[in-house]
Amino acid sequence: MPPAATASHLRQGSANAQQPTKNLTLETIATPSAFDGSLLAALAAGLVLTGIVSGILAGLLGVGGGIVIVPTLFWMLTLLHLPAELVPHLAVATSLAVIIPTSISSATAHRRRGNFDASLFRLWGPAIFIGALIGGIMSSFISGTGLRLVFGVVGLLVAINMAIPKTLVVSAALPASNGLNRLLASIIGFISSLMGIGGGTLSVPTLTAFSFPIHRAVGTSASLGLLIALPAVAGFIWSGWTVANRPPLSLGYVSLPAVLIIAPMSFLFAPLGARIAHTLNPRRLKLAFALFLALTSMRMLLG
């Protein structure tokens, strides 16, 4: 062999030796790529189902779809092998974006039926807006584990409240102090934004605890939900704008493909849930959902 060929052969062998050998274990073979076609098709189908279920439950029980969307997205996004600390932020922000069109539809329907309290909206609205905006912005300083724990703890409390046969009443009327009302509303906005839920999940039980009429509580909370979702989404978009490793077509922490799939389904199937509600035992439905929410919240707490 000529000396030049020998030197070339040695250099090639040295380069091959320096290349790391890929360990083809069963795990690496079985793990699908984040952009595998079959996986994406399965995720799209799951998002459609999520929208249908969240819409029906919203119509059945009057709860925001976020209480279903967040844990479902949390599980589905993990299939894309995204960083664990990123998944809760994406799930919460995307859920809040879905709530925007749903809240508009629900609030419009309740206003037509006269289930809207303008004075309460004026009193609580600005504070709940500011609380939600602060929550969205502060999300960049809260770890994924922190968001997961917030959802788990508050979700468990909501499940317990739904399972209790009688409505908790702490007072015959809302606090007389406007400052105390605003503090209460800002806390609801802040926590709701970190959980990815609308106004009804926390606002309705809070208002009924102060003997507020249930129909007006539900109707007004639908409008308050919009004041939670809009600023919270803006905060999550801003705080996640420069974050790396986000899925494609994300606006900050908001996954646009997920929003475009879930939102129409939730919007279309919410009226079906409302119709079904008149034919089923609402108490049994609440108990079933409380059990589901309790199990989901415990799973979130346990990681």
Per-residue pLDDT of 175-228, as tens digits, reads 989 999 999 999 999 999 999 998 788 998 899 899 998 888 888 988 999 999
| pLDDT tens figures, 3-38 | 555 555 444 444 444 444 343 333 333 344 445 678
Residue of 63, 101, 84 lying closest to 292 (CA atoms): 63
Provide the domain count of the chain.
1
Residue 27 covered by a domain: no
Model confidence pLDDT, tens digit, residues 266-292? 888 877 877 776 677 767 777 888 898
User: By percentage, how much of the chain surpasses pLDDT 70?
Assistant: 85
- The residue with greater pLDDT, 115 or 30, is 115
Which are the contacts of 274, defined by CB distance < 8 A and separation ≥ 6? 59, 60
DSSP state at residue 141: G
Q: 106 is in which domain, residue-wise?
A: 38-302
Which pairs from 173-179 meet CB under 8 Å and 24+ separation?
173/210, 173/211, 174/120, 174/207, 174/210, 174/212, 175/210, 178/123
Strand pairing of 254-255 and 250-251?
antiparallel
Query: CA-to-CA distance for 253 and 92, rounded, in angstroms?
Result: 8
Within a domain: 8: no
Confidence of residue 243 (pLDDT cuts 50, 70, 90): very high
Q: Residue 237 domain-assigned?
A: yes
Task: Name which of 25-34, 39-48, 155-164, 234-243 the model is least confident about.
Answer: 25-34
Task: Take residue 64 and report the two structure tokens written for it.
Answer: 């925001």
pLDDT, one tens digit per residue, over 154-183 is: 999 989 988 887 777 888 899 989 999 999
Residue 1 forms part of a structural domain = no
Q: What is the pLDDT of residue 94?
A: 96
